[in-house]
Amino acid sequence: MKKTVHLIENAQLVLPDQILAPGWLAIADGVIVDLGEGQAPERGTDLGGDYLLPGFTELHTDHLESHFQPRPRVRWHPLSAVMAYDAQIVAAGVTTVFDSLRAGSDADGGVPSEDLWTLAGALDEARAGDYLRADHRTHLRCEIATNDVIEQVQRFSGRHQVDMISLMDHTPGQRQFRDIALWKVYFTGRTARTEAEANAVVERRLALHAANARRHRRELVAFAHSHGVVLASHDDAMPEHVAESIADGVAVAEFPTTHEAAGQSHEAGIRVMMGGPNVVRGGSHSGNIAAEDLAREGLLDIISSDYVPASLVMAAFMLAERVADIDLPEAVRMITLNPARAAHLYDRGAIAIGQRADCVQVHLADTVPIIRRVWRQGRQVV
**C-alpha span between 198 and 249 (Å, rounded):** 35
> Are 103 and 31 contained in the same domain?
no
pTM: 0.91
> Are 216 and 110 contained in the same domain?
yes
Confidence at residue 118, expressed as pLDDT on a 0 to 100 scale: 95
Average pLDDT over residues 95-99: 98
In order of 89, 116, 181, 295, 306, the CA distances from 62 in angstroms are 11, 14, 25, 23, 6
> Are 353 and 218 contained in the same domain?
no
> Are 264 and 228 contained in the same domain?
yes
> Are the CB atoms for 381 and 90 separated by under 8 Å?
yes
252: amino acid identity, one letter? V
> Are 223 and 364 contained in the same domain?
no
Tens of pLDDT, residue by residue over 102-130, are: 999 876 555 556 899 999 999 999 999 99
Tens of pLDDT, residue by residue over 344-354, are: 999 999 999 99
Report how many helices (DSSP H) and strands (DSSP E) the chain contains, helices first.
Answer: 13, 16
pLDDT band, residue 4 (cuts 50/70/90):
low
Tens of pLDDT, residue by residue over 302-350, are: 999 999 999 999 999 999 999 999 999 999 999 999 999 999 999 999 9
> Are the CB atoms for 355 and 53 separated by under 8 Å?
no
Confidence at residue 2, expressed as pLDDT on a 0 to 100 scale: 47
CATH number at residue 169: 3.20.20.140
Provide the residue range defining the domain that includes 129.
55-346
149: amino acid identity, one letter? V
Q: What is the DSSP letter of 255?
A: S
Q: What is the DSSP letter of 356?
A: B
Instruction: Look at residue 287 and tell me whether its pLDDT is greater than 50.
Output: yes
Average pLDDT over residues 128-135: 98
> Are 1 and 16 contained in the same domain?
yes
> Are 50 and 101 contained in the same domain?
no
Tens of pLDDT, residue by residue over 227-238, are: 999 999 998 999
> Are the CB atoms for 189 and 256 separated by under 8 Å?
no
Q: How far apart are the first and last CA of the chain?
A: 27
pLDDT band, residue 201 (cuts 50/70/90):
confident
Answer with the residue of higher pLDDT: 98 or 211: 98
Confidence at residue 129, expressed as pLDDT on a 0 to 100 scale: 97
139: amino acid identity, one letter? H
Which residues face 231 on adjacent strands?
165
> Are the CB atoms for 73 and 110 separated by under 8 Å?
yes
Percent of residues, the chain, with pLDDT higher than 90: 79
Mean pLDDT estimate for the chain: 91
* Element of type H or E holding 25: strand 19-28
pLDDT band, residue 1 (cuts 50/70/90):
very low
Confidence at residue 312, expressed as pLDDT on a 0 to 100 scale: 98
> Are 355 and 305 contained in the same domain?
no
SS3 state at 350: coil
Tens of pLDDT, residue by residue over 148-175, are: 999 999 999 999 999 999 999 877 656 6
> Are 322 and 352 contained in the same domain?
no
pLDDT band, residue 286 (cuts 50/70/90):
low
> Are 120 and 40 contained in the same domain?
no
Instruction: Look at residue 199 and tell me whether its pLDDT is greater than 90.
Output: no
Tens of pLDDT, residue by residue over 21-73, are: 999 999 999 999 999 999 999 999 999 999 999 999 999 998 898 899 988 78
Closest among 167, 264, 249, 154 to 214, alpha carbons compared: 167
* Element of type H or E holding 45: strand 45-46
CATH number at residue 1: 2.30.40.10
Confidence at residue 362, expressed as pLDDT on a 0 to 100 scale: 98
Confidence at residue 172, expressed as pLDDT on a 0 to 100 scale: 67
Q: Which residues of 190-203 are buried (b: 16+ CB within 10 A; e: fewer)?
A: eeebeeeebeebbe
